[in-house]
Homo-oligomer: A and B are copies of this chain.
């Protein structure tokens, strides 16, 4: 929806044809590669100097192309942004799935009462979502863009909900595994957890230049267990 990626192939640059559907239509391997390189360059520059401050020309230069390549692949700036958001959010979700797959929570015995275990798994999951610091930054900017331009909001919200729901699901499974359940709505809990972790990420980032460099995970483990403990209650009041 909402214009999609928009390959908009055509004969030359001229009119990239409305990138209406297209989507999965046969894109040559070559084309796909340049698209990827352009998206990579955009992600890097967006993170470095901001979305608005990044010129199309700069993106092309960093990707090793000229603007001709850009306009052959994207109708305009916003089409690139859409495509980037779609790609990165998809990547984030699949990373979450991988993390869930690889997570040790499957080994946790059914009746464990160690809330700390859940907390540590939760932290690892959050961490898995933020391997790419660039996207954390750019996504923050897109959040603001969606707040300003209401027409962008639905797409952004949908993308973010996808992720937050996935996290919520996982948290619910984890707590259930310990015979507990959340005392507040899942979504609220995830929101708090996510926001708190974002702050940890920022703090960790800031600490890089100082003499006490820490990681976000270190910071997170100092409060997540306590919060998880206090915001969950034993489940099954009546079995």
Contacts and interface: CB of A to CB of B under 8 A. Distances in A.
Interface stretch (A81-89, A99-107, A189-197): A189-197
> Copy number of this protein in the oligomer?
2
Interface stretch (A109-117, A147-155, A168-176): A147-155
Nearest to A202: B147
A58 interface: no
A47 interface: yes
Contacts of A157: 206
A140 interface: yes
A166 interface: no
B195 A230 contact: no
Contact of A192 (B195, B206, B222): B195
Given A53-B52, A144-B144, A148-B49, A191 B184 contact: no
Nearest to A49: B148
A40 interface: no
Interface residues of A, number: 38
Contacts of A183: 226, 230
Contact of A52 (B47, B50, B230, B231): B50
Interface string A134-154: 000100110111011010010
A29 interface: no
Contacts of A195: 191-192, 195-196, 198-199
A147 B50 contact: no
18 contacts: A50-B52, A50-B148, A51-B52, A140-B140, A140-B143, A141-B144, A147-B202, A150-B209, A183-B230, A184-B227, A185-B223, A188-B223, A191-B195, A191-B199, A192-B195, A230-B230, A230-B231, A231-B231
